[in-house]
Amino acid sequence: MNEIDRRLGWIVAFVAMVLALVSARPFAGSWNDGSRLAAAESLVDYRTWAIDDSIFVRVPQTTERAAPYPASDPALLRDGTQDKMWIAGHFYSDKSPVPALAMAAIYQILQWVTGLVARESPGWFCYWLTFLSSGVAYIIAVCCMDRLAVVTRLRRRSRLLLTASFALGTIALTYTRHVNNHILLLALCSALTLLFARTHFTRSCLLAIGSLIGLGYTIDLGIGPVLVVSAVAFVAGQTRSLRAVFCVLAAAFPWFALHHILNYQIGGTFLPANAHAAYFLWPGSPIDPADLTGGWCHPNVGKFIVYALDLASGRRGFFPYNLALFLAVPGLVVLLRARVAETPQILFAAGFSLASWLLYSATSTNHAGLCCSVRWFVPLLAPGFYILALSLREVPHCEGDMVILTSGGILMGIASWWGGPWMTHMPWGFWPILAGTLLTWLGYHLLRLRAASRKS
């Protein structure tokens, strides 16, 4: 990499950091992040996994202290987070324990250095844990995507276009506003995609791959296991070596063990505690055990197909909120037909994405709850943009398509960012932005076809 490209990388990192610092909110915006923050607070301040005494569960009702939730949501201020399990007489967060442990470590360091206490300064507690988890994950993901553009040998203009589209024209920035696991998994998938793109399977690389997929398993037990299987299959296919596969699994195993040990400590079971319907049957619980993901949820195959298509392209679907990914579909076809050198990586990216989509389509019916687009699919931006990077390299004239879709994507990204990750409605201007972008894209291709016919 020359000096100009290196400096450009630092500029990208700086801009991503500024965006993350501006985006982080000084309060919890929903049950989801309130539950995660409650676990981190309780681990440090009360030395327990139980969240009964957390300010995010038992919200202070006096005006003497700042509230941990926004003043615009009286239900949250009154009831606190409802994402909790009732186990042996205590409430516990229903979120993954390993990320909560990591956030607790961050909070402990902040407390040692600054004296920060969540109950006394909930605003600063929420802000710094949001930035140091979701914000840092966003910075890592953007930097990995920028580096991926270099590894795939994109021209500088295409590199900037790809990175800008990822950073500003998707829901990635939206998920920096509050604590969540989805942006964490996006950072992890971006780093893993970058490792796979390099294809140098040294021992250190294999250990890094194993650590990443093991950590991914602890973050999301939906996409996490799919990531493990997909990555191990890719390494096995590329190396044809049992030793390489063993090296990957050996690096992943400590993370598997940590997750299940913590899970057993909290819920008394090595299986996911939040999959036990009985833990949600506490008085006043708003959670219907029938809505829990984990098994086939559809009365017939037809309903499953309709729901799957809705998750992909409906009014809350993944593609309409990440408009550049519309180009990844034809790009995938072109790349597979061309049989480029990165075909194994392309198959990994497509297979991992397809399997994740089908898994959640089969095991859910609630569109991921109240959130921006489909929060479960945020990590799929990494493999999707890898396909876009290769498409820009192999078919340079598709830069025009990318510019159009990125322009609309940035408008959609701004509207989504403003609403935040836990929005209860579509972002402002959703239909005009979507229709305008797709019609412009169609018009662009019609004009190209007309120009081509005149030349012939």
pLDDT of residue 455: 76
* Cα–Cα distance measured from residue 259 to residue 263, given in angstroms and rounded to the nearest whole number: 6
Q: Report whether pLDDT(414) > 60.
A: yes
pLDDT at 200: 81
| pLDDT value of residue 4 | 85
Q: Which of 54-58, 61-65, 139-143, 399-403 has the lowest mean pLDDT?
A: 61-65
Rounded mean pLDDT of the chain? Answer: 94
Give the least confident one: 78-87, 227-236, 268-277, 425-434.
268-277
pLDDT at 411: 98
Per-residue pLDDT of 230-253, as tens digits, reads: 999 999 999 999 999 999 999 999
Please spell the DSSP secondary structure of 323-375, one letter per residue.
Answer: TTHHHHHHHHHHHHHHT-TTHHHHHHHHHHHHHHHHHHHHH-SSTTSSSSS-G
- Write out the DSSP string of 135-199: IHHHHHHHHHHHHHHHHTT--HHHHHHHHHHHHHSSSTTGGGSS--HHHHHHHHHHHHHHHHHH-
pLDDT in tens, 190-211: 999 999 998 788 999 999 999 9
Please state, in angstroms and as integers, the Cα–Cα distance from residue 287 to each residue in 151, 164, 181, 361, following that order: 46, 39, 20, 20
Percent over 90 (pLDDT), the chain = 84
Burial grade of 454 (CB within 10 A; 0-12, 13-18, 19 or more) = exposed
Average pLDDT of 346-357?
97
Question: What pLDDT digit, counting tens, does each position of 16-39 carry?
Answer: 999 999 999 999 999 999 999 999
Phi, psi (rounded to 5 degrees) for 77: -65, -35
pLDDT one-digit tens code per residue, 50-59 = 999 999 999 9
Q: What is the pLDDT of residues 314-332, one digit of tens each?
A: 999 999 999 999 999 999 9
Separation between Cα atoms, residue 336 and residue 347, nearest integer Å: 9
Q: List, for residues 434-452, the tens digit of each pLDDT value.
A: 999 999 999 999 998 888 8
Residue 63 pLDDT greater than 70, yes or no: no
State yes or no: pLDDT of 373 exceeds 90: yes
248-271 tens-digit pLDDT: 999 999 999 999 999 999 988 877
The two three-digit tokens of residue 107, written as one number = 């909070």
Selected residue with higher pLDDT from 296 and 92: 92
Residue 1, pLDDT above cutoff 80: no
Dihedral of alpha carbons 391, 397, 398, 402, sign:
positive
Quick: pLDDT tens for 64-84: 567 899 988 999 999 999 999
Q: What is the pLDDT of residue 429?
A: 94
**Does pLDDT of 293 surpass 60?**
no
pLDDT of residue 174 exceeding 80, the answer is yes
